Amino acid sequence: MQIKEYRTWSVEDVRAMCIRERLYTEGTGEEYSAMFRMVNDLTPTVENIYRVAEDIDRNSQFQTVENIMYMLANDVVKSGFEIVDDAALAGEGPEREVSRKEIPMAENTFEAYKAELEHAGPRVKEMILHRAEQEGDISFEEFMELCRIAYPEDAGAADEKGERMAIPRMRTAPGVLEAIRAEDPNTELTEHYIRYLIRAELVPVLKVGKKKLVSVDDVMEYLSKSAGAPVPAPAPTGEIRPVPVR
């Protein structure tokens, strides 16, 4: 009779170990993913366990290769056995497999990332979110939900204010006028006047290259506050004006 041992490991178990033991906190997202690919491609021989442990140790704090090898061997590597009796060896009967389990590579799903984030530290959270953004088969809405799970304090602060961060509607003068006309088709405002507001910086101005952008909402707020007040006339342009003598 012969007894054969088969060893297997999985990316899912290595990932869980790194999160649980606060490992790989110094590596980048790309290095983290490369280590998982190595686990997926290699069988857990002593030499390969050393290779993976060395990579993890290089990107971790307060650990040794020996300790990481011990954790891999005890917490990650699984053994299966195949017993071949004498009849099978003599060619008189089939081999009898007692326990041999193949463990597939973990799927990059929303639920998998969600479970990882629950016990991850700050640095590991960054790597998980980076991997989810680059490799995960998840939607934009699911990714934003993962960000809220990773940083609940930020989401809670927004919820206490009862507001969500909105993207400002930054436009040039023609774009501002177009937005105003969309809400008030009969507006008497002109592009020339909006350019005056921008040039005089009566509203906050963002300079992007040669363009000057303002928020549509800032312009509308300024106009609302200025309603009923004397409106300063735009300075004339293209004309010769007298210069006061001092």
Please check whether residues 93 and 14 belong to one and the same domain: yes
Tell me the residue range of the domain where 46 lies. 2-99
How remote is the C-alpha of 166 from its chain's centroid?
A: 19
Of the ranges 25-29, 107-111, 231-235, which is most confident? 25-29
pLDDT value of residue 97: 44
Between 118 and 93, name the one with better pLDDT.
Answer: 118
- 3-class state of residue 85 by DSSP: coil
CA distance 31 to 88: 46
- 189 lies in a domain? yes
- 239 lies in a domain? no
The domain boundary residue, chosen from 99, 128, 147: 99
- 144 lies in a domain? yes
pLDDT(156) > 60? no
pLDDT(124) > 50? yes
pLDDT(33) > 80? yes
Q: Which two tokens stand for residue 12?
A: 């899912």
- 7 lies in a domain? yes
pLDDT value of residue 139: 74
pLDDT(221) > 80? yes
- 240 lies in a domain? no
Please check whether residues 153 and 176 belong to one and the same domain: no
Query: Helix/strand/coil (H, E, C) string of 89-156?
Result: HCCCCCCEEEECCCCCCCCCCHHHHHHHHCCCCHHHHHHHHHHHHHCCCCCHHHHHHHHHHHCHHHHH
Residues 61-113 have pLDDT tens digits of 888 999 999 899 888 998 877 776 666 556 555 544 444 444 343 455 778 77
Q: For residue 168, give Cα distances in angstroms to 111, 190, 213, 216, 217.
A: 32, 22, 11, 8, 8
Between 85 and 52, name the one with better pLDDT.
Answer: 52
Q: For residue 200, give Cα distances in angstroms to 195, 207, 235, 241.
A: 8, 14, 10, 18
- 3-class state of residue 163 by DSSP: coil
- 3-class state of residue 59 by DSSP: coil
Total count of domains within the chain: 3
Residues 183-218 have pLDDT tens digits of 899 988 899 999 999 999 899 988 766 778 898 989
pLDDT(237) > 80? no
% of the chain surpassing 70 pLDDT: 68
Q: Which two tokens stand for residue 239?
A: 């004309």
| pTM of the predicted protein model | 0.40
Please check whether residues 53 and 75 belong to one and the same domain: yes
pLDDT value of residue 150: 80
Over the chain, what is the mean pLDDT? 77
Q: Can you tell me the mean pLDDT for 143-147?
A: 79
